[in-house]
Amino acid sequence: MIFLVLLGAPGAGKGTQAAILSERLDIPHVATGDLFRAAVRERSAVGLEARRYMERGQLVPDEITVQMLLERLAQADAGEGVILDGFPRTPAQAVALDTALAEHDARVDHALEIQVPFEELVRRMSGRWICAENGHVYNEVSHPPRVAGRCDLDDSPLLQRDDDKAETIRARLDLQLGALAEVSRHYDERGVLRTVDGRGSIEQVADDLLAAIGPVTRGAA
Ligand code: AMP
């Protein structure tokens, strides 16, 4: 069982790195942003509620977010551990996660923070496009699609998320950087925080993250 938390500002590359780590470590990648977007598509009660906050670039309230996450963690494929991406984003979420894991004699093994300077984050997020069908992520600068405006993988149209538009980016960052610092401190105090420079290539950052985790024995307690 290995429980990883990936920390970083929006645009730091958490989603990309979580997908790579998920494949290398063979444990699921759980992103609360993806869970919320799926709920919005399904028009579930959680989705309708969450959308009001997401459209404004605000965090969804802790109570809704924690409940949704814990339901996901209760699914069978999370039994060997998970890589959390985009959660926790507030100290209250971090505490709720610790409490839930402690009930299963588990804990967050590693909190890995991907650090990227503020202006670089703004630049990266301004060019982010997401495919309509499956949420595949592209970036005008670092990862453009082969054909402009179409997804390489499923050919669906690329859209800019409401919360990736220029006017909401700085608001999102301002809101979330303060909370991120508090969440990082939470894990630092528990001795499990490692920081990695997020400005290298995707491969370099992935290697640094894996090195920070160290050897992983799957199936160990
Ligand atoms: P993301 O894809 O991680 O940038 O998340 C997209 C949006 O979903 C965020 O802007 C929030 O509105 C919401 N969200 C995702 N994760 C969380 C979380 N842990 N706490 C509160 N809101 C979240």
pLDDT at 219: 44
**Atom 14 (ligand 1): residue with closest C-alpha?**
33
The Å distance, Cα 163 to ligand 1 centre, comes to 10
pLDDT at 11: 83
pLDDT at 163: 64
Q: From the CB of 137, is ligand 1 less than 6 Å away? A: no
Q: Could you state, in order of their start, the residue ranges of all structural domains in the chain?
A: 2-116+198-213
* Low-confidence stretches of the chain (pLDDT beneath 70): 163-164, 216-221
- Does the active-site annotation cover 185? no
In CATH terms, the fold of domain 2-116+198-213 is Rossmann fold (3.40.50)
Catalytically annotated residue among 37, 72, 124, 128: 128
pLDDT at 169: 81
The set of residues, in sequence order, having a beta carbon less than 8 Å from that of 88 and lying 6+ positions away, is 5, 94, 96, 97, 183, 186
- Closest-lying ligand 1 atom to the alpha carbon of residue 10: 4
- Does the active-site annotation cover 89? yes
pLDDT at 195: 97
Q: Using CA atoms of 18, 27, 71, 34 in order, give the dihedral in degrees to the nearest 10.
A: 30
In tens, the pLDDT along 73-126 reads 999 999 889 999 999 999 999 999 999 999 989 999 999 999 999 988 888 888
- Does the active-site annotation cover 161? yes
pLDDT at 221: 39
- Closest-lying ligand 1 atom to the alpha carbon of residue 161: 6
pTM score, whole prediction: 0.83
The Å distance, Cα 167 to ligand 1 centre, comes to 17
Return the beta strands (E) in the chain as ranges.
2-7, 29-31, 81-85, 110-115, 128-131, 137-139, 158-159, 193-197
Yes or no: say if 43 and 50 are a contact pair by the CB < 8 Å rule.
no
